[in-house]
Amino acid sequence: MRALAYFKKQDIHYTEDLPEPKINYPKELIIDVAYCGICGSDLHEYTDGPIFLPKDGHTHPLSNAKLPQAMGHEMTGIVREIGSEVTKVKVGDHVVIEAGCGCKDLPRWPNSKFYGSKQCAACEAGLDNCCEHAGFTGLGVVSGGFAERVVVGEYHTIPLPKNIPLDVGCLVEPLSVVWHALKLANFKANKTALILGSGPIGLACVLALKAKGASQIVVSEPAKIRRDFAEKLNITVFDPSKHGSNAVQELKKLSKSGSGFDFAFDCSGIKATFETGLQAITYRGSLVNVAIWGKTLDFDPMEVTLLEKHFTGSIGYVVEDFEEFVTAIHKGDIKVDEIRHLITGKTDIKDGWEKGFLELMNHKETNVKILLTPNNHHELD
């Protein structure tokens, strides 16, 4: 099978010999992958990894799967084959895949070191994203969407209405990340929001906030090209580099109340954005960390206490977030054209390294989301 696969540390390349996926459990299905987006975590697996993927000579503790594996976890496709107990979809259906893996998947992998174990407390509570065994299809647990076909569990399969194009459906995964964050933060309509960072997750946050009825959205981003992307979504942009130490005060002036924003979402994960977000929210405002951090940080707890501010973090998503977001697109609460605005490139998996990975690593300011198509679907768009 054709795939762009991870073979070992700093060795990701195209192959035509990856093993075909097989249904080994009655609630599994195989999809023909239409599109799969390249995520920042995929890039980090090459530059800093292996992080989630198994180390050379090892298997993944959750599935006991070994390398090589196709990468890719932001995927859509068409159902090719279903297991004997699958009832959620039928052959030919368009689907988007929620790529999280955890306790609920253990019946699929009898060779797992955790097979037969009781579900962890988080999974019993329905918080699959906080599973103590958490991993992802396409990031080490099992092969993912940078391949012609992938096997997934029915539980993770969400039907995609035909009015949502397959390429746009790939963005449901990163959009569900921020949808989950908004729910966790208890965001309400008519509240104001500040977004720190205008990369893929920051732009996804704009779309989710618009769907949730935010009364004001401001994006703070120093890179002009990324500010331009955000501005095309008809929201206010702010360049913090022009204001130096006065940036927070200038941001507060932009807020409708003049005293700060009701919510701030840190989508960058650096000291400057964390501090700006914490200081730019109003009394009883909420700062939500959506970014993945590589370093620890010192901060003054009294910045939270004196104005009774809230700080929380959000990780990933659960299946319900995907279902709700697909419904929001289907109903028109989120415009297909605005989602498609985030897609800055499409290419075959055969060229996925040069025109996908390298393009994003060398020109990240001019790209938001590049999609790989294992089955040449872009020729049909």
Residue type, 110: P
| Closest alpha carbon to 145 in 339, 8, 349, 343 | 349
Looking at residue 380, its pLDDT comes to 47
Q: What is the pLDDT of residues 222-260, one digit of tens each?
A: 988 889 989 999 999 999 999 988 999 999 999 999 999
Stretch among 148-162, 207-221, 361-375 having the lowest mean pLDDT:
361-375
Residue 378 has pLDDT above 70, yes or no: no
Asked if residue 305 is part of any domain, the answer here is yes
Asked if residue 363 is part of any domain, the answer here is yes
Question: Are 273 and 207 a contacting pair, CB within 8 Å?
Answer: no
- 282 and 152 in a single domain? The answer is no
Residue type, 374: P
- 238 and 304 in a single domain? The answer is yes
Residue 128 has pLDDT above 80, yes or no: yes
Asked if residue 133 is part of any domain, the answer here is yes
**Single residue among 293, 313, 333 that ends a domain in this structure:** 313
Name beta bridge partners: 237: 219
- 27 and 114 in a single domain? The answer is yes
Chain centroid offset of residue 297 CA:
24
- 161 and 187 in a single domain? The answer is no
Burial per residue of 119-149, b for 16 or more beta-carbon CB atoms within 10 angstroms, e otherwise: bbebbeeeebbbbebbbbbbbbbbbbbbbbb
- 160 and 204 in a single domain? The answer is no
Torsion sign, CA atoms 335, 338, 339, 343: positive
Asked if residue 331 is part of any domain, the answer here is no
Split into its structural domains, the chain has a count of 2
**Single residue among 275, 293, 313 that ends a domain in this structure:** 313
- Residues spanned by the domain of 137: 3-171+342-380
Asked if residue 48 is part of any domain, the answer here is yes
Average pLDDT over residues 70-83: 97
Residue 325 has pLDDT above 80, yes or no: yes
Residue 379 has pLDDT above 60, yes or no: no
Please indicate whether residue 97 or residue 134 has the higher confidence score (pLDDT): 97
Q: What is the mean pLDDT of the chain?
A: 92
Asked if residue 293 is part of any domain, the answer here is yes
**Single residue among 292, 313, 334 that ends a domain in this structure:** 313
- 226 and 123 in a single domain? The answer is no
- 136 and 264 in a single domain? The answer is no
Q: What is the pLDDT of residues 290-300, one digit of tens each?
A: 988 877 888 88
Average pLDDT over residues 125-129: 89
- 285 and 364 in a single domain? The answer is no
Question: Are 190 and 215 a contacting pair, CB within 8 Å?
Answer: yes
Average pLDDT over residues 140-162: 96
Q: What is the pLDDT of residues 266-322, one digit of tens each?
A: 999 889 999 999 999 999 999 999 988 877 888 889 989 989 999 999 988 999 999
HEC-encoded secondary structure of 217-282: EEEECCCHHHHHHHHCCCCEEECHHHCHHHHHHHHHHHCCCCCCEEEEEECCCCHHHHHHHHHHEE
CATH number (domain holding residue 125)? 3.90.180.10
Residue-level length of the chain: 381
Would you give the DSSP letter of residue 172? H
Report residue 56 as tokens.
Answer: 């050379």
CATH number (domain holding residue 246)? 3.40.50.720
Asked if residue 332 is part of any domain, the answer here is no
Antiparallel, parallel or unpaired: β 74-82 and 343-348? unpaired
Question: Are 74 and 204 a contacting pair, CB within 8 Å?
Answer: no
- 153 and 239 in a single domain? The answer is no
Residue 3's Cβ-count burial label (10 Å; 0-12, 13-18, 19+) is buried
| Closest alpha carbon to 143 in 73, 62, 236 | 73
Average pLDDT over residues 115-130: 89
- 128 and 238 in a single domain? The answer is no
Q: What gap in Å lies between CA 79 and CA 201, rounded to an integer? A: 28
- 155 and 198 in a single domain? The answer is no
- 155 and 287 in a single domain? The answer is no
| Exposure of 372 in the CB half-sphere (CA atoms within 13 A) | 35
